[in-house]
Amino acid sequence: MNRWETILEAVTEAKRIHNSLDSEASVRAKGGGVDIFGAIRSREIELLFEPLEKLLGGYFPEPRPGILVTSERSLAIQRVTVAHEFGHHVLGHPASLDPIEILARDPKVRTYDLNETAADAFAGDFLLPYWIFESHAERHGWDADSFSDPFVVYQLSLRVGASFEATARQLVSNDSIDRATLKKLLDVSRSSIKQALLKGHKLEHLRRDVWLLTEKDQGTIIQGGPDDVFIFQLKQNSGAGYLWSLEDLEDLGFSVMFDTVDVPDAEVGVGGPVDRLTAATVTGETMQNVTLTESQPWNQDSISKTLDLNFDLFKEKGQSQNQRRAIAAGV
């Protein structure tokens, strides 16, 4: 096969597996990214995360199929790597050791080894199919122009569970942005995006991600790392005495970094809704449902709005989290 036939085969196989797993319906219902770890477990492929030097991962077909991925990278990069190695397995490739370069390759532009081309194409369309962008865009009200904004693309990348670069490159592949826009996006420092979101509050470890959560995230799963920062940006009708009970976050194990209210200018209107900005972190891994409410503090029956979020924060190391949970549940 030539290069384009190789890419077509890989993309077709990614779609076939998605159809068999009903991936699109799952993402549209609960948000988040494609369940790559569940897909690996369904194929009975051994998946391990260990410290690796100069490698992101590897695929080993013998004596039984296995995937090895570095434990020294973020969850987003781990997911991209797992998808790449899964592509090697699905497409019947021999053993492969994959360096960091796989993150920046583009199979539709550069010519390189056909097996690697196929694995890259599979990973892009399996982890980031066009409908996952469509689903999150519909939920958040993002249009075609929104994807030229690095802040939007960064938040999109967190929700789909992929690196900023992989997300931006797949937006090109899906014809959502052009290559000139891609270059502008990749020229923006991710650390500058994070610092801007924190509005002057210092981020000590720049590898930590910063989520901007709003009421449009209602009912979704938040899959991130245990050291991530979560900024809740919520409309608050304080003029009528309604306040969000964000203090309850501390009872759930969150530590509040800052809690501010952005009051509009006088000419915009007095007494109307204001933006409540609360940043919080969690120490250690957690899997829990969080429900926040807006109400009048003196009236227990005055709840006007709720925000339900499902936090699943972990770092992959050793046996995959998905496999460990399945064993614990006796599945």
What is the structure's pLDDT at 103?
Answer: 78
For 127-150, the pLDDT digits (tens) are 999 999 999 999 999 998 999 999
Position 250 confidence tier, pLDDT thresholds 50, 70, 90: confident
pLDDT beyond 90 at 161: yes
Domains of the chain: 3-131 (1.10.10), 133-194 (no CATH), 204-313 (2.60.40.2020)
Give me the percent of the chain exceeding a pLDDT of 90.
60
In terms of Cα–Cα distance, which of 31, 83, 69, 41 is closest to 311?
31
The encoded tokens of residue 244 equal 């969000």
Confidence tier at 269 by pLDDT (50, 70, 90): low
pLDDT at site 241? 87
Contact 20, 60 (CB under 8 A): no
pLDDT of residue 109: 73
280-314 pLDDT, tens digit per residue, is 998 788 888 999 988 888 887 888 899 999 999 98
Q: What is the mean pLDDT of residues 9-37?
A: 94
pLDDT grade for 37, boundaries at 50, 70 and 90 = very high
The residue-averaged pLDDT of 308-323 equals 84
Q: How far apart are the first and last CA of the chain?
A: 40
Q: What is the mean pLDDT of residues 235-258?
A: 85
pLDDT category at 268 given cuts 50, 70, 90 is: very low
Mean pLDDT of 95-120: 85
In sequence order, which ranges of 141-259 are alpha helices (DSSP H)?
A: 150-160, 164-173, 179-186, 190-197, 248-251
Instruction: Specify the pTM.
Output: 0.90
| Higher pLDDT pick, 187 / 101 | 187
pLDDT of residue 317: 82
Report the pLDDT averaged over residues 152-165.
96
Which of 37-51, 172-186, 218-232, 250-264 bottoms out in mean pLDDT, i.e. has the lowest? Answer: 250-264
| Residue type for position 308 | D
Backbone angles phi, psi at 70, to 5 degrees: -65, 145
Report the share of the chain in percent with pLDDT over 70.
97
Rounded CA gap, 287 and 266, in Å? 42
